[in-house]
Amino acid sequence: MGKKVTVLGEVRDGALRNVSFEGVAAARTIAEDGEVVAVLLGAEVKGLAEELIASGADRAVVVENEKLAEYTSDGFAQAFLAVIEQEQPDAIIAGHTALGKDLSPKIASKLGSGLISDAVKVEVEGGNVVFTRPIYSGKAFEKKIVTDGVIFATIRPNNIQPLGKDDARTGDVSELTVEIKDLRTIVREVAKKATQGVDLSEAKIIVAGGRGVKSEDGFKPLQELADLLGGAVGASRGACDAEYCDYSLQIGQTGKVVTPDLYIACGISGAIQHLAGMSNSKVIVAINKDPEANIFNVADYGIVGDLFEVVPMLVEEFKSLLVEA
């Protein structure tokens, strides 16, 4: 039997994050022949609804309110709960992003429901919606189902394939007016760190540097390689702590969790806290001068050598490949 699924679209700097389209795809799987309702919350977000419909949602519900210009747990919870109250969905999907991680447990608590966090796969098996999620810092996986109440999950970015966009798809976009009140937290200041270019959590190719990069300048060849491949630069905690780069580049348990098609780790030893953030990558390349480094245990391909020799050679080799192609 078809289900009604609401999926939260997440907006950053005026655009939808990719995880929103992945969420629509997950919702479609769960809905079967039911209905997928996209939800948008913010000060000015209505214009984005059609993109969610083109990506597979049947219709959209939008809550616009000045008080939603910035994310607060209280504000977004009031708005999202009002939509859930109106729609009475069988299932709810959000991204496992900073926003989704902060908001979803509160919504689940209000609904008295379960919540399956950080799912990397969604399947319908014998009438059950089964979510697969990494546990133990990514060293194992569990399959989980909801046994009571609404089905609710957050999905890890870059793991579920979005559906193709079809601009001919149409659907209703309705507005819901919600009074947002009693915000108990106030955002005083937002310091955006230099994250120009590709968003790490959505990047298809990541070139990451560790303490082995040795200096801020040491990141230059990595940046060159990333630019050449249309990817993004990331880092280990070691590199961030040594001030070779900004913490906003950090990948791992504390930093960003990424799942690119290609992850090139340069001068990174492969501590478990780093692996927790990248071991799900489709292809991993390790460049390290220590043949015993743990990173080789998760790598598909490895080169034992000095990254300052290897990375520039890689740049040249990729250049000639790209010229040929």
Interacting positions 216-235 with other proteins (CB under 8 A) = 229
- Reduced to 3 states (helix: H, G, I; strand: E, B; else coil), residue 250 is strand
User: Does 308 engage in binding with ligand FAD (CB under 6 A)?
Assistant: yes
Compute how many residues bind other proteins; rule: CB under 8 A: 89
Q: What are the backbone dihedrals phi and psi of residue 61, each rounded to the nearest 5 degrees, phi first?
A: -120, 130
The span of 25-33, 92-100, 184-192, 265-273 binding ligand FAD (CB under 6 A) equals 265-273
What would the 3-class secondary structure string for 11-40 be?
EECCEECHHHHHHHHHHHHHHCCCEEEEEE
CA diameter of the chain? 61
User: Does 215 engage in binding with other proteins (CB under 8 A)?
Assistant: no
Residue 134 CB, nearest distance to other proteins (Å)?
Answer: 7
User: Does 274 engage in binding with ligand FAD (CB under 6 A)?
Assistant: yes
Return the ∠ at Cα 72 (arms to 78 and 247), rounded to 5°. 150
Question: Binding ligand FAD by CB under 6 A: which of 63, 267, 284, 298?
Answer: 267
Angle separating helix axes 98-111 and 73-87, nearest 10 degrees: 50
Contact map string, positions 117 to 146, toward other proteins, x by CB under 8 A:
xx---------x-x---xxxxxxxxxxxxx
- What one-character DSSP code corresponds to residue 163? P
Query: What residues numbered 225-254 form the site for ligand FAD, per CB under 6 A?
Result: 236-239, 250-254
Tell me which residue has tokens 């189902």: 145
Residue 112 or residue 186: which is nearer to ligand FAD going by CB?
112
Contact map string, positions 71 to 100, toward other proteins, x by CB under 8 A:
--xx----------------------xx--
* Nearest of 85, 80, 93, 86 to residue 36 by alpha carbon: 93
Whole-angstrom distance, CA of residue 36 vs CA of residue 14: 23
Whole-angstrom distance, CA of residue 69 vs CA of residue 156: 24
Q: Is the CA virtual torsion 169, 93, 130, 97 positive or negative?
A: positive
149 binds, among other proteins, ligand FAD, none (CB under 5 to 8 A by kind): other proteins
Query: What residues numbered 97-116 form the site for other proteins, per CB under 8 A?
Result: 97-98, 101-102, 104-106, 108-110, 112-116
166 binds, among ligand FAD, other proteins, none (CB under 5 to 8 A by kind): none
Provide the binding-site residues for ligand FAD, judged by CB under 6 A. Answer: 210-212, 236-239, 250-255, 267-269, 271, 273-274, 277, 287-290, 293, 306-308
